[in-house]
Amino acid sequence: MLSDYVYQQRSQRRLQRIIGASHLDQFTEWLVGQRYAKSTVRSYLFGAAHFLAWTRTKGNRDFSTLGQVCLTTYRDHLIESRGGAPRAHEFCNSFCSARTFVRFLRHRGIVSVERDEAPPLVSRFCLWMRSHRGNKESTVANYRYVLRKLLQRYGCEPRSYTAAQLRTFILAESRGYSHSNVETHVTAVRMFVRFLMAHGECSDALQHAIPRVGKWGQAVLPRYIEQEAVERVIAACEADTPLGSRDRAVLLLLARLGLRAGDVANLRLDDLDWTQGRIRVSGKSRTPAWLPLPQDAGDAVLHYLASVRPRAATDRVFLIMRAPYTPILSRQITSTAERVIKHAGIAAPSFGAHLFRHSAATGWLRQGLPLQSIGAVLRHTDLDTTAIYAKVDVGLLQQVAAPWPGENSTC
């Protein structure tokens, strides 16, 4: 089997010497079983050999020690060797090869699966957030990432924390990042303080230690494109190709129902009720909502499932189009939207998946739908969140404008 991917005998002998004949054959067979392309299999074989050769220069000759720490060190080595360029460690599949080889060793039981190394206090907090607050795993993971850094800086004795320390941490970790990133850090620390107070593990004086992030409410107009431009983007997907078929189904769900990228990425096969013509979406909460499935979006999804979707051991609706055919991620939904928008030649104010959500809400308002109905489809818990879309048309502002003091008529 190796000769089908590495043609020169000299290269075959070198790979066998570095990886080992038995491991090399098993790794090759495993890659083929994962349905990687022929060129990818060849690239990963040479990349794994380069990774192992590097580990041996560091005195590491035991496969069982090749874990996450080793991978992180190797990634830093690749970045440094290429001048610190952004994402330099991914050039030529170098890091992907090493990570895939370690995954193969874990599959074979040679390398043990590493457990969550979060401090016990953070693990307790995460369990509390799941059971008492009902947070989704993605939200808990964001909080865990922030709190690990907090405990690394100030230790695991929360009784010694001060308000100044918490504020310093927020400022240091958020400097140079977006407003949403700052809000994530603030929310994570504030929820952590509430958890500690509920269990009597910190001073009550920390309750108001971290103020809210300053931001003008509804300070900007929603970024959207006209419905004609939306249709041009959808038409730019080549439905007769596998990738175009998947992209068209994804974009129709974004454009017709105003779904978020995470909503589409997390769709499962049993979320599609073909009998009733509806789709189940959980969104940011654990409470699912059933939405009507438009005819064109349903036809596109059905065509993708019946003719295009690769066979894989997962119930996720949308998969990536290259082996090993794993479920698509939220950021890949956003990348798909960006790629198709640019391919269509649309002059858009932004290129993410959320552009279709804003465009759908704006179009519904202009068609005369009330804000309450639009908020229900978008699954907003507060009408003020939906009201931002009324700013795109002065006439629609009359629906949300408050009476002027002393007058009976609205503005």
The residues annotated as belonging to the active site are: 260, 284, 354, 357, 380, 389
Q: How far is CA 79 from the centre of its chain?
A: 23
Question: Distance (Å, rounded) from C-alpha 342 to C-alpha 334?
Answer: 12
Asked if 153 and 220 touch (Cβ cutoff 8 Å), the reply is no
Question: Distance (Å, rounded) from C-alpha 372 to C-alpha 2?
Answer: 62
DSSP one-letter string for 313-326: S--BS-B-SSTT-P
Enumerate the β-bridge partners of residue 292: 278
Q: Is the dihedral of CA 141, 145, 147, 152 positive or negative?
A: positive
Stretch (H or E) spanning 182: helix 179-198
Stretch (H or E) spanning 74: helix 68-81
Strand arrangement, sheet containing 278-281: 272-273, 278-281, 289-292
Task: Give φ, ψ of 48 to 5 degrees.
Answer: -65, -40
